[in-house]
Amino acid sequence: MKNVIVITGASSGFGALAARALSDAGHTVYASMRETQGRNAPQAEAVIKYAAEHDVDLRSIELDVSSQDSVGQAIQAIVAQTDHLDVIIHNAGHMVFGSAEAFTPEQYDTNVLSTQRVNRAALPQLRKQKNGLVVWVSSSSAAGGTPPYLAPYFAAKAAMDRLAVVYASELARWGIETSIIVPGAFTSGTNHFAHAGSPDDKERAAEYEAGPYAGFADQVRNAFTAVVPFDADVSKVADAIVDVVNTPFGKRPFRVHIDPSQDGAEVINMVSDRIRAEFLCRIGFEDLLYPAT
């Protein structure tokens, strides 16, 4: 079945790989990103080039997840062009690296609030159709090992993961399915670490570097490199997303892990998801575990 799909944060990394893989699988894919006429113009052009060279329906669209107006305009444009929307993929996220105290509150925004902006713009269309799929690209850091110096990213991903779990129950009776993709750390194949942001409070960050945590940033990076297998293939995340989308409605997995470093998230999530299911059954809401047909 051919789906109309919008994926956020598709200028690079998991998003770009998934957008291409989904279009290769025969879907109409909107690879959304901000600044398609500016900083991301080369990436937007690459989308157009890939579509032409591979004869697939892959389209670039301007969508800034930090702006409700931008998100709303993008979703309206997609529905106007296709008359429906089948799959939302929450992928946008910004890796940051540094001491937690040195980050300002505003730097904790993108990975959580962006999903709510997209949902408020897109879910009315899916609810109108009484059918759809929401895919959340979470992180193993939301439940497994959480090394220092990545607090805004880890905290935001953990919050997004919990939001996904609650949304799953609140969308089930509308006939909207939920799948959560849980990638582990990948130190190559994406620009996550290469393009990682840094704390805005440089003075506070310098205090850490001048104190007992001098040189600690390099130690953390080296530790990551040591635990991630050299052959970890980031394309498997995109493959997992394609598999979820291509699975028949009502049969899709609630959660899929792709974690080459095995940081323990799969074990913790297995218990957490089992307890969630048992509790919903206990209070008489077992129907919320499956999308209405």
- Model confidence over 54-72: pLDDT tens digits? 999 999 999 999 899 999 9
The amino acid sitting at 3 is: N
Alpha helix stretches (DSSP H) within 57-186: 68-82, 110-129, 151-172
Q: Compute and round to an integer the Cα radius of gyration of the chain.
A: 19
pLDDT digits (tens, 9 = 90+) for 19-29: 999 999 999 99
Contact 65, 43 (CB under 8 A): no
Q: pLDDT grade, residue 193 (50/70/90)?
A: low
Q: What is the pTM of this model?
A: 0.93
pLDDT at residue 185 in the model? 81
- Name 56's Cβ contacts closer than 8 Å, sequence gap at least 6: 20, 23, 24, 26, 29, 50
Query: Is the Cα torsion angle 258, 255, 265, 213 positive or negative in sign?
Result: positive
- Burial classification of residue 72, based on how many CB atoms lie within 10 Å of its CB (0-12 exposed, 13-18 middle, 19 or more buried): middle
Fold for 4-289, please state it: Rossmann fold (3.40.50)
Measured in whole angstroms, the distance separating CA 4 from the mean position of its chain's CA atoms is 18
pLDDT at residue 194 in the model? 61
Taking the CA of residue 58 as centre, how many other CA atoms within 13 Å lie in the half-sphere pointing to its CB?
A: 29
CA dist 179 and 92 (Å) reads 16
Mean pLDDT of the chain: 92
The amino acid sitting at 149 is: Y
Give the whole-number percent of the chain exceeding pLDDT 70.
96
CA dist 282 and 51 (Å) reads 49
